[in-house]
Chains A and B, each alone.
Chain A
């Protein structure tokens, strides 16, 4: 390369071959990086050992929505109305001002609870606190963060630019934006982390009368969920309430539901810290099918492969600079002689 530069000019053919070569290499690198799974693959993250979360057992939920009201109060959110009289807080979905909601599944006559046919069931909708959250990967300014110890996915409005990539990225549709405000923020459940210093924990679990929403370390919650799945439906067992990993015993005896043999959140996207049990098919109650591999890991693998250490950009930039330096002719220069031969049109 050096000799060529000193000699001034490379034969046109040689140069063209060089150009094609370096561009081809760059193109091939991009293609190879995108197609194959490279050595720099970013694995799906796992939950931190001390991860905190919730266990929601739909068979225990009576649909009282005490958790919805408690969440509003704990997060100082205004009521949202969907009825004409506007008497009560009646949000139809989570929003920038509603971080937790109980939704209802209905089928046919709605005769029996937790029956897929002619029955009804409840489902909690709130942040799942993913082991490998899409929103954290998507956020350009680190306004969405995952705590290394508790694993809580937290939002910092002071950092946020309001691009709403988190809203678009989340497979559960959880981060929501306040579109009616000129200074709108993202709203989502942060597991009541602001209440921990006062000895409180997640308000939804605190107030749940049946223990349908249970707070605790996700490892404990997962063990509890598996215990329930192993029980005989219809038999009697002890159900804890409130905080599973500490606090006073508030347990009671209740009947075991007819569970689907699946702990939702055990493996989805590498696992979530909020786990769910249900008697009705999870997709039917609005919990999407998700593979064990997170989309954040796929996205970051692509990013790191293409831009890791800025190696590839600098390599391509170097090649381009070298080539451009030879090919840029100033207007004061004599124009380059027309290329011999006819255009290949």
Chain B
């Protein structure tokens, strides 16, 4: 056991003005400008969405993929507080921070994609909301989860502000919010898959299945761990810190288990529904199906053994392949293998792409700001050598 396991979180410190924050700032400003144009001149002024593909990347990438990539916090809470693997505790706060920004910005992103955004409150207003609607479940649940996450994360701010009394009081009931913070994402991440069901045969048979909620839930969990691998490696390299190998190694094994379950369910479902022949046609849909699953299979090749999981480069790449697999699952269902009939085409416009990039830039900027100024990442023991294992 190395000392870092019990290390309390501490601010990283350092300047907030550097190349990374500057680039993020510019990208955020560009995105904000485009959003203003969109709000004054309508969706067609900046995006390529149309009646065949009414949901473009602002919905599918910013919200559906963005929120799934923000499942790290929920996945760590699941491991630490539900499965009682206390040793992963140092990973909880950084993961929760990523989730906090991912979800908050996904929530912000959906607002300016809404065609009649000033009515947004109807989703929470009895008399308006429709409990049969999958979209209602997703919207209400995501909103609630964002609030819950800010509460879960608030001890960090209270700690920084020196409000120890308030922090202690909050921590007495925090277990409830932690439980909520596990249940809510399970609900809406599953429902994001159910969203495809009502679209019927417009969604290709390889992705149109009533077990979508299970697939999306499993994939959100594996994505959560994949993102933590990725984030931990990037944060370690950017802040010149140690990589928490002794934690990432066993966590990656948990992730492999989830991926294995996912793949079994995925292929069993495709086979049972008789959709397997669709995967062997010579078209782009079959190709993207195999790319999606090859990404997940590649993870086993990358980090299948204990030795391989001690290699930071391999962990980093595995994080990327898992993320790609999960991203493709969503892109395929909602855009690539979604067909509303002949004549409809969609590819995001440059301004559309810039807004999505700006949102991710905002997440990175927020992550840098909070980790440098607030106690999130585990305190680095000066010159501590990584435990040789």
Please say whether chains A and B are actual partners in one complex.
yes
B271 at the interface (CB under 8 A from A): no
A173 contacts B198, C-beta separation under 8 Å: no
Q: Would you call A323 and B43 a contact (CB within 8 A)? A: no
Q: Is the CB of A303 within 8 A of B134?
A: yes
Residue among B43, B52, B114, B211 with most chain A CB within 10 A: B43
Q: How far is the CA of A23 from the CA of B81 in the complex (A)?
A: 13
Taking the closest CB of chain A, its distance from the CB of B389, in whole angstroms, is 9
* Contact, CB under 8 Å: A302 / B197: yes
Query: A323 CA to B6 CA in the complex, in Å?
Result: 22
B160 in the interface, Cβ–Cβ < 8 Å? no
CB neighbours of A165 from chain B (8 A): 133, 135, 195
Partner of B116, one of A161, A168, A339: A161
A residues within 8 A CB of B217?
A: 30
CB distance from A9 to the nearest CB of B (A): 12
Interface residues of B in 1-20 (CB under 8 A from A): 1, 5-6, 8
Closest to B80 in A: A327
- Contact mask A187-214 → B, CB, 8 Å, 1/0? 0000000000000000000000000000
Report yes or no: A302 in contact with B54, Cβ–Cβ below 8 A.
no
Q: Is the CB of B341 within 8 A of A286?
A: yes
Chain A nearest CB: distance from B363 CB in Å? 23
Give the chain B neighbours of A141 by CB distance below 8 A: 119, 122-123, 128-130, 136
B122 close to A313 (CB less than 8 A): no
Residue A87 at the chain B interface, CB threshold 8 Å? no
Contact with B along A156-175 (1 / 0, CB 8 A): 01111111110111010100
Task: Give Cα A177–Cα B53 distance, bound, in whole angstroms.
Answer: 11
Contacts of B136 in A (CB 8 A): 140-141
Report how far A35 CA is from B309 CA in the complex, Å: 35
- Decide: A138 and B134 in contact? CB cutoff 8 A: yes
Q: Which residues of A contact B201 (CB under 8 A)?
A: 171, 288-290
Q: Cα distance A72–B358 when bound, in Å?
A: 41
Contacts A34-B210, A141-B136, A161-B114: A320 and B82 contacting too (C-beta < 8 A)? yes
A343 at the interface (CB under 8 A from B): yes
Q: Are B130 and A142 in contact (CB under 8 A)?
A: yes
Interface size of B by CB at 8 A reads 83
> Interface size on A (CB < 8 Å)?
79
Give the contact stretch, choosing among B64-72, B83-91, B99-107: B83-91
The distance from the CB of B251 to the nearest CB of chain A, in whole angstroms, is 9
Given contacts A19-B83, A95-B51, contact A184 B198 (CB under 8 A): no
Task: Give the docked Cα–Cα distance between A24 and B83 (Å).
Answer: 12
User: Which of chain A's residues have a CB closer than 8 A to the CB of B133?
Assistant: 137-140, 165
- Does any Cβ of B come within 8 Å of A255's Cβ? no
Chain B residues 182 to 226 lying within 8 A of chain A, measured CB to CB, are 182-183, 186-187, 190-191, 194-195, 197-202, 210-214, 217
Please name all residues of chain A whose beta carbon is closer than 8 Å to the beta carbon of B114 when the two chains form the complex. 161-163
Interface residues as binary, B154-196 with A (CB distance below 8 Å gives 1, 0 otherwise):
0000000000000010010011101110110011001100110
Query: A52: shortest Cβ distance to chain B, in Å?
Result: 23
Give the shortest distance, in Å, between A156 (CB) and chain B (any CB): 10
Stretch at the interface among B34-42, B231-239, B319-327: B34-42
Q: Is the CB of B132 within 8 A of A164?
A: no
The yes or no answer to B137 lying at the interface (CB within 8 A) is yes
Contacting A299 at CB < 8 Å: which of B6, B45, B194?
Answer: B194
CA distance A187 to B86 in the complex (A): 55
Distance between A107 CB and nearest chain B CB, rounded to angstroms: 15
Nearest B residue (CB) for A94: B51
Pair B250/A343 contact, Cβ less than 8 Å? yes
CB distance from B144 to the nearest CB of A (A): 11
What residue in chain B is nearest A144 (Cβ atoms)? Answer: B130
A-B CB pair tally, cutoff 8 Å: 237
Report chain B residues within 8 Å CB of A182. 39-42
Chain A: minimal CB distance from B338 (Å): 8
Q: In the complex where A137-B132, A160-B119, A321-B176 touch, is A299 in contact with B183 (Cβ < 8 A)?
A: no
Q: A298 at interface (Cβ–Cβ under 8 A)? A: yes
From A303, A306, A307, A317, residue with most partner B Cβ within 10 Å:
A303
| Inter-subunit contact A344/B250 (CB<8 Å) | yes
Q: Mark A29-44, 1 if CB is under 8 A from B, else 0.
A: 0110011000000000
Is B33 an interface residue, CB under 8 A from the partner?
Answer: no
* Cα-based distance from A325 to B172 in the complex (angstroms): 9
Contacts of B137 in A (CB 8 A): 303, 307
B299 partner residues in chain A, CB cutoff 8 A = none
Task: Check A164/B55 contact, CB under 8 A, given A320-B82, A328-B175, A335-B86.
Answer: yes
Q: Which among B80, B183, B198, B199 has the greatest number of chain A C-beta atoms within 10 A?
A: B198
The answer to whether B253 has its CB under 8 Å from any CB of chain A is yes
Docked complex Cα distance between A180 and B180 (Å): 40
Of all chain B residues, the one with the shortest Cβ separation from A171 is B200
Tell yes or no: A185 within 8 A of B by CB.
Answer: yes
A82 to chain B minimum Cβ distance, whole angstroms, is 13
Report if A134 contacts B (CB, 8 A).
yes
User: Cβ of A345 < 8 Å from any Cβ of B?
Assistant: yes
Q: Is A176 an interface residue (CB 8 A)?
A: yes
Is A16 an interface residue when CB atoms closer than 8 A count as contact?
yes
Contacts of B210 in A (CB 8 A): 34-35, 298, 302
- Whether B42 lies near A138 (C-beta < 8 A) is no
Residue in chain A with minimal CB distance to B178: A324
In the assembled complex, B246 has its CB within 8 A of some CB on chain A: yes
Contact status B246-A343, CB under 8 Å = yes
Is B198 a contact partner of A15 (Cβ separation < 8 A)? no
A200–B122 alpha-carbon span in the complex (Å): 33
Task: Judge if B139 is at the interface, Cβ distance under 8 Å.
Answer: yes
Q: In the complex, which residues of chain A have a beta carbon less than 8 angstroms from the beta carbon of B195?
A: 165
- Asked whether, in the complex, the Cβ of B84 is within 8 Å of the Cβ of A327, the reply is yes
Q: Chain B: residues with CB nearer than 8 A to chain A?
A: 1, 5-6, 8, 39-45, 47, 49-52, 54-55, 80-87, 110, 114-117, 119-120, 122-123, 128-137, 139, 168, 171, 174-176, 178-180, 182-183, 186-187, 190-191, 194-195, 197-202, 210-214, 217, 246, 249-250, 253, 306, 309, 340-341, 343
16 intermolecular pairs with C-beta atoms under 8 Å apart = A15-B84, A19-B82, A140-B122, A140-B123, A141-B122, A141-B130, A163-B135, A179-B47, A179-B49, A299-B134, A303-B131, A320-B183, A324-B176, A326-B84, A343-B87, A343-B249
Task: Please give me the 6 A-B residue pairs with the lowest Cβ-Cβ distance, nearest first.
Answer: A162-B115, A162-B116, A295-B200, A320-B179, A179-B44, A140-B136
Apart from A138-B198, A330-B168: 18 A-B pairs, beta carbons within 8 A: A96-B51, A141-B136, A161-B115, A168-B199, A173-B51, A176-B51, A184-B115, A186-B115, A306-B191, A317-B179, A320-B82, A320-B182, A321-B179, A323-B82, A324-B82, A335-B6, A338-B87, A339-B87
